[in-house]
Amino acid sequence: MAGKIPRNFIDDLLARTDIVELIDSKVGLKKAGKDYQACCPFHNEKSPSFTVSQDKQFYHCFGCGANGNAISFVMEYDKLEFVDAIEELASLLNLDVPREQGTNSAPERTAAQKRSDYDLMLHSARFYQHQLKHHANSADVINYVKGRGLSGETVKKFMIGYAPSEWDGLCNQLGRNKEQKQQLVELKLASEKTPGRQFDFFRDRLMFPIRDKRGRVIAFGGRVMQNEQGPKYLNSPETRIFHKGFELYGLYEAKQAHKKLDHVLIVEGYMDVVALSEQGIEYAVAALGTATTSEHMHTLFRTTDKVICCYDGDRAGRDAAWRALENALPYLTDGKALNFAFLPDGEDPDSLVQKEGKTVFEERLSEADDFSKVLFNKLSQDVDLTIDSGKAKLLSAALPLIEKIPSEFYQENILEQLGRLIGRTREQLNNRLKTPKQQHSIERKFKITPMRQAIGILIQHPNLAKSIPYLPDLTHMKIAGIELFIELQKYALSNDNITTAQLLEYFRDTPSYDALIKLASWQHQINDERLETVFKNTFKFIEDQCLNYRLETLLIKDKTQGLNSDERLEYQLIMTALKTTNS
């Protein structure tokens, strides 16, 4: 598929990355036998239960269960998506990330070209910062900033600047040749209505650089400072490095301010984020001129366990809250919380926090409504619950939303509330769900069967794949796990010196991945000297299982349909093999 990162590059990236060096640079590891230990970066603990294996290139926490390879660690520690994590690891090794090309696809930009884009955005941000202090209008701009209650420290933290009033201030400074001018246009820092003549996209505005999860400037928001014509806020249009539906203003700064974000506050504007930070509330983010999207919610719930949406109490604010709630429902797993704080008429977080101060404002947040209250307030509007048709209307509107929630606890809680409103029991309503909750809500102990033992040993020690015969025909037998085992062996045999980390990466985004992760961190307690023998014996047991299954199949066919000559020969060979095994 065009645009995909080639598998061999991911293998090479994991081969070149030493997971011990990677994690040690972020967490700090201590040698413990042949492995390394630290207090887990993913949950609070006093004694170390986080282990990193250099042999397997794999980490595992015995406290919270976090585990994976170098890519998984970067995804979880830096809260990055898969592709971003690949690019982060590649940048540490000064590697270009290649992409598979379709027949009609444009050439993929090189790492140097991508760096050039980010460098230009950073230079633009610094240009605007410089203009804030040195432009002819700087006195007026600084007075405006001070009038909004912002200190120099906050201005510096958010890299706030000023886009000069001239038509071509930025173009003259950074567009010194044809290529640079074209790049300014492509990144929407400049416009070109007449070929060859560029002018600045942002003019006479207070500038807010937008940074991605890695801290790179990817876009800008510009605010007017006088009551002039035109929009109050002007945001960068989408570019090859900026996609507004995926980015949140202030998230990078919030993560820098907190080792762990216990909660995140969503507000509507840049100035709200900055004003809250000025008052010591350094966990606010804002959507970029768009409603809070599903991607925003996914990002936030990967970052924190609690999201508080803060909106105006008017109709527009309630509508925005509803869109955010709908987009958040699929991410409300156990332990995740979604609350809503509605502000008094005519107030926004910026104005209110300056009037009330941090303590009183945070008290408002602590009293925010649970998402279920907002859900039923919305669904109950214009519904007469004293008549059956009104109750049926509420039921039909609520069930599809409840089905989106993955948390069984939340489902049961909301069904109880719904039942009280329409006069039904939770059990009655639960039967109406199209996706009924799982019967086993508590995860059963991961029992080690012979097949799981064989897979567990192989995933932890891929070199043992050579110690047993490769028998792909066994996949035709209906033995649970045999196809996965043979597939693992195939990958291990085709890649010399493959590590646990690399082997696991082949199965990311497959149904088998979670089970393989568990088996990769399984403590098998088998001595190194006996490991190969145990593995061979376990495989022999599985092979015999397959042979017995095939023998049983042939016996049934012999009694019902009869066997042909090839099948009779196969039957004799299996009998001989089983007798040899048992003798």
How confident is the model over 262-284, as pLDDT tens digits? 999 999 889 999 999 999 999 99
Contact 306, 264 (CB under 8 A): yes
Q: How far, in Å, CA of 170 to CA of 175, rounded? A: 8
CATH superfamily, with its number, for domain 7-92: Zinc finger, CHC2-typedomain (3.90.580.10)
- DSSP 8-state code for residue 583: -
The ranges of the chain annotated as CATH 3.90.980.10 are: 111-242
Q: How far, in Å, CA of 49 to CA of 227, rounded? A: 58
| DSSP letters for 283-334 | -EEEESSSPPPHHHHHHHHHH-SEEEEEEESSHHHHHHHHHHHHHHGGG--T
Pairing of β 284-287 and β 248-249: antiparallel
- What's the pLDDT score for residue 436? 45
- What's the pLDDT score for residue 441? 33
Degrees to nearest 5, angle at CA 517 with 511 and 521 = 160
- What's the pLDDT score for residue 101? 64
What CATH number should be reported for the domain whose range is 380-430? Answer: 1.20.50.20
The fold of the 450-582 domain, in CATH, is DNAb Helicase; Chain A (1.10.860)
- What's the pLDDT score for residue 406? 87
The ranges of the chain annotated as CATH 3.90.580.10 are: 7-92
**Amino acid, res. 272:** D
- What's the pLDDT score for residue 271? 93
The fold of the 111-242 domain, in CATH, is DNA primase DNAg catalytic core, N-terminal domain (3.90.980)
The tokens describing 415, both together, are 């069904």
Q: What is the pTM assigned to this prediction?
A: 0.68
The tokens describing 403, both together, are 């089905």
Q: How far, in Å, CA of 387 to CA of 349, rounded? A: 41
- List of the chain residues with pLDDT < 50: 1-2, 103, 436-445
Pick the CATH number of 255-364 from 3.10.450.230, 3.40.1360.10, 3.40.50.300, 1.10.260.40: 3.40.1360.10
Nearest to 216 by CA among 123, 112, 295, 152: 123
- What's the pLDDT score for residue 581? 58
The ranges of the chain annotated as CATH 1.10.860.10 are: 450-582
The ranges of the chain annotated as CATH 1.20.50.20 are: 380-430
The ranges of the chain annotated as CATH 3.40.1360.10 are: 255-364
Chain segment 309-336, per-residue pLDDT in tens: 998 878 888 888 999 999 999 999 888 9
- Count of alpha carbons within 13 angstroms of residue 535, beta-carbon side: 25
